[in-house]
Structure 1
């Protein structure tokens, strides 16, 4: 039957042209006490790197985080699990939080944009 190969080809083309996935919610950032500790991925957490924790995204996923208050954004790599506070969708490293101007606020409304491989 020739329909199945054509259907698979269509699905492949559609998935490669897919729009980025988007989430919106509250972001926080890691306290300094976590610097130097192991993350869930096994990497050592460094506050000077552009990394983040997300509950479900695969480790290594690149995510664009945009602060909805000021429009500033940063690209981070997921290397840990969390946040474990209700209502929050991502924990950023201090460098990432500084880039989007949320250090003073501590928690900010953000939009996450990413593509899964």
Structure 2
């Protein structure tokens, strides 16, 4: 009896190009969905589907600033937002005062 395998090749998320939309920031100290404690001084982020530990480059096209964050939480839970970043990441993106900003992100690893 012959065994046939069917293989589906799925390109990595970064191959699809950048995802763009609105981002917000948060600074809690509770546990994240990954089980680790949220530390606002770390470069982390919440995303609804990316695997925990995924590194994502987030870019603010308005000012040209970028930061690489690690996904460690789930969210955002507000319609129209694509990612929530930590306060430290928001500072590097220049979006603390605004609270929300249009960003684009790419998966880097």
TM class by shorter chain equals 0.7 to 0.9
Alignment TM-score, normalising by the size of structure 1:
0.79
Alignment check: 8 A CA contact 2:57 2:108 kept = no
Q: Structure 1 CA distance, aligned partners of 2:16 and 2:42?
A: 24
Q: Could you tell me how far 1:22 is from its partner in structure 2?
A: 1.8
Q: Could you tell me how far 1:68 is from its partner in structure 2?
A: 1.4
**Which has a greater percent of strand?**
2
Alignment check: 8 A CA contact 1:66 1:110 kept = yes
Q: Structure 1 CA distance, aligned partners of 2:105 and 2:71?
A: 12
Q: Structure 1 CA distance, aligned partners of 2:108 and 2:91?
A: 24
State the partner residue of 1:96: 89
Alignment TM-score, normalising by the size of structure 2:
0.84
Q: Structure 2 CA distance, aligned partners of 1:76 and 1:115?
A: 10
Segments of 4+ moved more than 6 angstroms: none
Partner SS state of residue 29, structure 1: strand
Partner SS state of residue 59, structure 1: coil
State the partner residue of 1:54: 47
Q: Could you tell me how far 1:91 is from its partner in structure 2?
A: 0.5
State the partner residue of 2:25: 29
Q: Please provide the CA RMSD for this pair.
A: 2.4
Partner SS state of residue 97, structure 1: helix
**Which has a greater percent of helix?**
1
Higher Cα Rg, which structure: 1
Unpaired runs of at least 5, structure 2: none
Paired residues in the alignment total 105
Partner SS state of residue 26, structure 1: strand
